[in-house]
Amino acid sequence: MSTTSTALQRKRDTIDKQARGISQTFHKDVLAILSDKSTIDEAELDTILAYLKAVALVSNTNTYKAMKEAALKPRHCLRCHGSFTEDDNGPRACVIPHVFDGEDYRRSAGGITYISRCCGEGATVFEDPPGNGVYEDFDQLGKCFVGRHTTQEWDVILHVTVSTSFTASLKAANVLKSSSGKMMTLFSM
């Protein structure tokens, strides 16, 4: 590494440390100060103005513009196959319901227990009487997955491996039936 790149990296590290010390709510805090007109004096207003000028300078850099453009570019989620942008990707952005088909079921207690294809016996619904289309525990079912969208294949593979392994462990331990013999939804991924 050259002397110039070493010095540049040290400078970047110093600035990064300072930036990480700033609260994520700092800008909201500044707006709150501005809305409380009784407590601010002219010197503080000048300081806030200098801060806003610095923010404007940073937002006009090529690196910042490229980062924001990339964040607004629609991406494809490999988990739910929906489109998303990084700006609208959050902890509940990607939602996948449990998947049921008519082939994986068990007759029990006068009705039919349908077992999900995705989470096995970890997610079931009970139809009583059979064929009426009314499922007793459908509202409590939850979702197969709720989380962030991803473009990383290993995120999807990891979820499938974990949920499949967990369901298989529960089946092996025979803990999916309640004392009444009805199926229990123990978890919703």
Whether residue 38 sits in one domain with residue 124: no
Does 178 have pLDDT greater than 50?
Answer: no
Tell me the pLDDT tens digit for each residue of 96-115: 988 887 788 888 877 888 88
Structural domain contains residue 140: yes
Across the range 12-30, mean pLDDT stands at 92
Task: Give the pLDDT confidence score for residue 172 in this predicted structure.
Answer: 43
Tell me the pLDDT band of 124, cut-offs 50, 70 and 90: confident
Comparing 26 with 181, the larger pLDDT belongs to: 26
Task: Name which of 22-26, 64-68, 108-112, 164-168 the model is least confident about.
Answer: 164-168
Across the range 62-85, mean pLDDT stands at 92
Number of structural domains in the chain: 2
Whether residue 90 sits in one domain with residue 55: no
What's the whole-number average pLDDT of the chain? 81
Tell me the pLDDT tens digit for each residue of 24-55: 999 999 999 999 877 889 999 999 999 999 99
Tell me the pLDDT band of 186, cut-offs 50, 70 and 90: very low
User: What six digits make up the tokens of 10?
Assistant: 């040290």
Across the range 52-70, mean pLDDT stands at 93
Whether residue 179 sits in one domain with residue 99: yes
Q: How far apart are CA 122 and CA 164, in angstroms?
A: 10
Q: Which residue has the tokens 């619904």?
A: 125
Task: Name which of 99-113, 148-162, 175-189 the model is least confident about.
Answer: 175-189
Instruction: Write out the residue range of the structural domain in which residue 186 sits.
Output: 74-189
Comparing 93 with 2, the larger pLDDT belongs to: 93
Whether residue 107 sits in one domain with residue 37: no
Whether residue 35 sits in one domain with residue 107: no
Task: Give the pLDDT confidence score for residue 55 in this predicted structure.
Answer: 93
Task: Give the pLDDT confidence score for residue 161 in this predicted structure.
Answer: 57
